Amino acid sequence: MRSIGGIFGESPFKPLYEHAKKACETAYALEDVVKAYCDKDTSGLSNLSDRIASLEHAADKIKQDVRRRLPYSVLLPVKRSDILEFLKPQDSISDSAEDLAKLMTLTDPYDLPVDIKEGLMEIMAKTTQILDAYMRLVKKLSELSRTAFRRKGVKEALDLVSPVEELEHQIDVISIGLSRKVFKLEDKLGALGVYHLSRIVELLSNISDYAARAADRLRTMLFR
């Protein structure tokens, strides 16, 4: 058989969307983790942490599939390097979710003041919102190729970038306030406790940073 089927490469866009879904699923699962941490539910925490680790692993598998579909010889409707640049922060979403879950299992949970718990839950709620906004953007992207990246669709996708960035800014503000409160807790938690907790706040707010960075890369990719 002499077939021209080989001219059609495997599209990276489908697994790219699947990867976004899996990465966000990993981060969504943090909600229960943060809750378990605040409730000092050690056994629940370790179960959830294992679950997150396996989700992250699944995301990694999909990431490899995307990379495999992007050899130098592939001709795409967008720049190949832009896709790779955007895959990186998207992958960091699940990576930092896993890091955070691991971090929370490193020591027994501390007795946290109510306002700290509320602060953590607030960031988590906003993080869930940013993941929703990010998924809307990625879903839009996966539909663009069907319309040959026509201007209307590209504009709709670009309009979905700023909500992600807006939420990222909100999370930044909340997490700085929360960090301030954490550093005042030295007498109650000890230096080690403060260190641990401030790392938790940092990693939790990292997730929105990565989502915003990926969204920004997506914007670069769509501008041509």
Partner 1 sequence: MDAISPAVILVFAAAFYMAWNIGANDLANSMGDVVGARVLNLRQVILVAGCMTFLGAALFGSRVTTTIAEGIIPFSQIDQHLATGGALASLLAAGIWITIATYFRLPVSTSHSIVGAVLGFGLVAAKAGIIKFGDIAWIILLRIMFSWILSPIAGMFLAFLVFTLIRRVLIERVRDVRRLEKIFGFLLICSSCYIAFSLGTNDVANAAGSLSAALGKTGVQIPLWILVFSGFGIVLGISTWGYRVVETIGKRITELTPTRGFSADISAATVVLVCSTFGLPVSTTHTLVGAIVGVGLARGLEAVNLAIIRRIVYAWLITVPVSTALAIIIYLGFWG
Picking from 217, 196, 195, the residue whose alpha carbon sits closest to that of residue 92 is 217
From the CB of 220, what's the least distance to partner 1, in Å? 16
Handedness of CA 103, 105, 111, 116 (dihedral sign): positive
Q: Which residue bears the tokens 């990292």?
A: 206
Total Cβ atoms within 10 A of residue 202 = 16
From the CB of 67, what's the least distance to partner 1, in Å? 13
Picking from 154, 29, 183, 158, the residue whose alpha carbon sits closest to that of residue 100 is 29
Using CA atoms, how far apart are residues 101 and 168, in angstroms rounded to an integer? 20
Phi-psi region of 148 (alpha: psi -120 to 50; beta: other; left: phi over 0): left
From the CB of 146, what's the least distance to partner 1, in Å? 7
Binding region for partner 1 (CB under 8 A): 1-13, 69, 71, 73-77, 145-152
From the CB of 62, what's the least distance to partner 1, in Å? 16
From the CB of 4, what's the least distance to partner 1, in Å? 5
- Nearest to partner 1 of 145, 170 (CB atom): 145
- Nearest to partner 1 of 114, 148 (CB atom): 148
Contact criterion met (CB below 8 Å) for 16 and 87: yes
- Nearest to partner 1 of 77, 190 (CB atom): 77
- Nearest to partner 1 of 9, 190 (CB atom): 9
- Nearest to partner 1 of 76, 84 (CB atom): 76
